[in-house]
Amino acid sequence: MLPFYTISTRTMDDLSAAYPVIVEQAVVWGDMDSYQHVNNVVYFRYFENARLEYFRRMGWFEYEKETGIGPILRDTQARFRRPLTYPDNIRIAARVSQIGDDRLTMEHVIVSLEQKVVVTEGQSTIVAFHYAENRKAQVTDELRRRISALEAATAGLS
């Protein structure tokens, strides 16, 4: 996980180099709760937006159509560093940090463009799952290749 830091041009470049997928989106009024900040559940939707964009870019959905093996979320966690409020725009970054036999670990960072800081860090465990057979599957060599290609080829691009 990245340490808590203020975003400058240099560190934003570092973030882009470390995370191959960065999604930018607005914080909308409906994300707020009665305490006048983004509700903690919404951060997990933000992570999901970047995670699914990662899967889209690596072609996992097409691979799932061919093989029946798709991603399923096993667990997720977040460390809330600062509250987000409306209005703001955020960047949500995603990368794969570990690949196991049947799972992978993804790291997420959310940056507030208004505050110019990392407001949330998180992690998700994704299991390769064969949906038709209702069972875990191996992270195949092809999935590993696609992850490696995305991590290598798109670092710094969003």
Q: How far apart are CA 147 and CA 158, in angstroms?
A: 16
**pLDDT on residue 17:** 82
Q: What's residue 10's pLDDT?
A: 47
Q: Give tens-digit pLDDT for 5-48.
A: 555 554 666 777 889 999 999 999 999 999 999 999 999 999 99
Q: Which residue has the tokens 């909308």?
A: 28
pLDDT of the residue at 1: 46
- Preceding amide of 83 cis, omega within 30: no
What global pTM score does this model have? 0.90
Per-residue pLDDT tens, the chain, 158 aa: give them. 444 455 555 466 677 788 999 999 999 999 999 999 999 999 999 999 999 999 999 999 999 999 999 999 999 999 999 999 999 999 999 999 999 999 999 999 999 999 999 999 999 999 999 999 999 999 999 999 999 999 996 554 44
Gap between the Cα atoms of 77 and 137, Å rounded = 23
Which tokens belong to 126? 């994704």
Class of domain 9-152: alpha beta
**Structural domain boundaries in the chain:** 9-152
**Exposed, middle or buried, 33 (CB in 10 Å: 0-12/13-18/19+)?**
exposed
State residue 158's pLDDT score.
43
